[in-house]
Amino acid sequence: MSRSRQRVSEPKRPAPVPADNYWSLSTRPLHGLVVLLPLLAMYELGAIFFLTDMRTGVQSTIAARKLIAQFFEVFGAFSFTLPGLALVTVLLTWHVVSKDSWKLRGWVLVGMLIEAALWALPLVVFAAVVQRAAAAMAPAFVAVGCGDAFACVAPNPTAAIGGMSIPARATIAIGAGLYEELVFRFLAIAGLHFLVKDLLQGTETAARIVAVCGSAIAFAVYHPLYDPMDPTQALQWTRLIFFTGAGLFFALLYLFRGFAIVVYAHAIYDIIVLVLLKEMQG
């Protein structure tokens, strides 16, 4: 005698809700977007007032930002504000898709700024160690965020940062934090991870290792690895070590602590070396 079996459908499990604590909320897109908006505003205004030649109307900009702008130009879109708007759109879309709460917590925003400043300190120490080691081999080496020359800023790669005004240097530091992290962490790590994990069917561990190391190498190559005063432009291994190490540091910080914190840590580090230390050195 057969018995009819009744299927009982299991109730759908609700999507996991981010934990209501600092370590989780500080990595979420809404808090990241809100804390990054002041940096975006400062860079855009600083680029207009301090990085634009009023006689010619030519605006110098971070090379990473220029790469993003050129991407939009391929599709016929051109605007100085497009890279910034793209960043805002990505974070806002991420928040909506994740269905996170719209509730903001001020103590999280303050904590993110403090944490980012603390994360910038190990990189300052690393730069000092590499610079001291390099001084014995090549005294011209300067371990700063953009190298000894204005090479990370377009379209004028020969202008010396040291000769620029304090607001201009601060603008460069902020722009480097925003757009270099967008290109080399947010986009490069995601792209390399997708390539290894999804296209090549690699393991998660392999995908993460390739993404971290690949983005760090790309970050190093993006910077000048030679002394700008050397006509031979010979490779300086100390620069390669510093920028690769910095790339690894930022990549791991991005993976474990999120986009906004790594942006601020990068910007604060560059402000320290491009503004504070240069002013102390005279």
Q: What is the pLDDT of residues 171-214, one digit of tens each?
A: 999 999 999 999 999 999 999 999 999 999 999 999 999 999 99
Q: Stretch 54-69: mean pLDDT, rounded?
A: 80
Look up residue 183 and give its DSSP letter.
I
Phi, psi dihedrals of residue 132, rounded to the nearest 5°: -65, -40
Res 155: pLDDT = 39
Pairing of strands 61-62, 153-154: antiparallel
Q: Stretch 34-61: mean pLDDT, rounded?
A: 87
Res 145: pLDDT = 46
Structure tokens given for 98: 């994740």
* Confidence grade of residue 156 (pLDDT, cut at 50, 70, 90): very low
Q: What are the b/e assignments for 52-87, b being 16+ CB within 10 Å?
A: beeeeeeebbbbbbbbbbeeeeeeeeeeeebbbebb
Res 7: pLDDT = 47
Res 177: pLDDT = 95
**Distance from C-alpha of 236 to C-alpha of 245, rounded to nearest angstrom:** 14
Are the C-beta atoms of residues 121 and 255 closer than 8 Å to each other? no
**Distance from C-alpha of 55 to C-alpha of 57, rounded to nearest angstrom:** 6
- Residue 116: count other Cβ atoms within 10 Å of its Cβ: 24
Whether 271 shows a pLDDT value over 80: the answer reads: yes
Residues in the chain: 282
Res 75: pLDDT = 63
The structure's pTM equals: 0.84
Most confident of 80-84, 218-222, 275-279: 218-222
Are the C-beta atoms of residues 267 and 146 closer than 8 Å to each other? no
Comparing 15 with 175, which gets the higher pLDDT? 175
Res 33: pLDDT = 96
- Percent of the chain past pLDDT 90, that is, above it, reads 54
Whether 115 shows a pLDDT value over 70: the answer reads: yes
* Confidence grade of residue 18 (pLDDT, cut at 50, 70, 90): low
Whether 57 shows a pLDDT value over 90: the answer reads: no
Q: What is the mean pLDDT of the chain?
A: 83
Q: Stretch 232-253: mean pLDDT, rounded?
A: 91
Res 73: pLDDT = 72
